[in-house]
Structure 1
Amino acid sequence: MAEYTLDDLDRAIIGELEQDGRRAFREIARTVDTSEATVRQRVKRLQEHGILRILAFADPQQHRGSQLCLTLIKVEPKHYDAAVEILTAMDEVTYLSTVMGRADLCIEVLCRDNTELWNFLRQKVESIPGVSGTESMTVLKVHKLRYGAPVR
């Protein structure tokens, strides 16, 4: 698929959807000064190119009996791609990114409880070939949760 370059209208539409992913295209069109058909077509194109996904996000702290954890992972360079692939396939991993600093990867993990979290980290993550170390931080309280670009 050809690379897609965002323009100002795409950014404006994305900004509106970041505020409310269920917002009607008609309302977005009025706000960004274009037609509803244009908004619909742009959203479809952004989704097809993997730039935009509209989904619901439930706060893990509101789910009784769930444990959220951030884990930094150090990976030997020759095993990096395989480790990313393995972690991506794990249901417990809700977020995965490459980072710079004392670790190579950062994952967000959601488990039912501390026992499940412990088993996941020790049995699954640390057994991935090339993983040379982990550092985990249990999330006690989320003070701000927002995905997307800063509001302008």
Structure 2
Amino acid sequence: MSISTLDPLDFGIVRELQEDGRRAYREVARNLSVPEATIRVRVKRLQDQGILQILAFTDPSKLGHAKLALLFVNVEPQDHERAVDTLGRWPQVSYLSTTMGTADICVQVLCSDDDSLWALQQRVRSLPGVRDVRTMQEVKVHKIRFTLPEAERDS
């Protein structure tokens, strides 16, 4: 199911849970004027289809000496999927995306210190097909939130 096949109730559920992922289904149902059972079924379907995940975010700056960084990886086209698959299994990787522009893959990592960040960067460099890795350390995260684009929110 693509985002374009979601109906207004699905979008309403997503918006409700984006505001508070711990919001009770009963409250979501009341806010959307539908039975609670409908919310349970819809949320399960959205989760099963990979459209909705309810997560807890941690502020890395509150974790002491943790190092948060973005790695911008350029990889040979034939090795792209293998690199994504490999990186996606590493516990230090918190975000992973295919990008267009000056890098092929964007990887957000959380490491315990500078030495472990350096070691991880070198590990990425050693992956088959990796041509280049640029690392940018994040000092402070000011906002992290994925919301529906306005055009979809109003449909």
Q: Structure 1 length as normaliser, TM-score? A: 0.92
Where does residue 33 of structure 2 map in the other structure?
Answer: 33
Where does residue 131 of structure 2 map in the other structure?
Answer: 132
RMSD value over aligned CA atoms?
1.4
User: What one-letter code is carried by the residue in structure 2 that aligns with 1:89?
Assistant: R
Taking every aligned residue pair, what percent have the same amino acid on both sides?
Answer: 49
The unaligned stretches of length 5 or more in structure 2 are: none
The aligned length equals 149
Where does residue 85 of structure 1 map in the other structure?
Answer: 85
The unaligned stretches of length 5 or more in structure 1 are: none
1:42-81 matches, within 5 Å, as: 42-81=42-81
Question: 1 CA distance for matches of 2:149 and 2:50?
Answer: 20
Question: 1 CA distance for matches of 2:149 and 2:68?
Answer: 24
- CA drift at 1:149: 2.4
User: What one-letter code is carried by the residue in structure 1 that aligns with 2:72?
Assistant: L
Q: Structure 2 length as normaliser, TM-score? A: 0.91
Question: 2 CA distance for matches of 1:142 and 1:51?
Answer: 25
Structure 1 segments of 4+ aligned residues over 6 angstroms from their partners = none
Where does residue 96 of structure 1 map in the other structure?
Answer: 96
Where does residue 112 of structure 2 map in the other structure?
Answer: 112
Question: 2 CA distance for matches of 1:140 and 1:11?
Answer: 34
User: What one-letter code is carried by the residue in structure 1 that aligns with 2:21?
Assistant: G
Where does residue 145 of structure 1 map in the other structure?
Answer: 144
> 3-state SS of the aligned residue for 1:45?
helix
Question: 2 CA distance for matches of 1:88 and 1:142?
Answer: 22
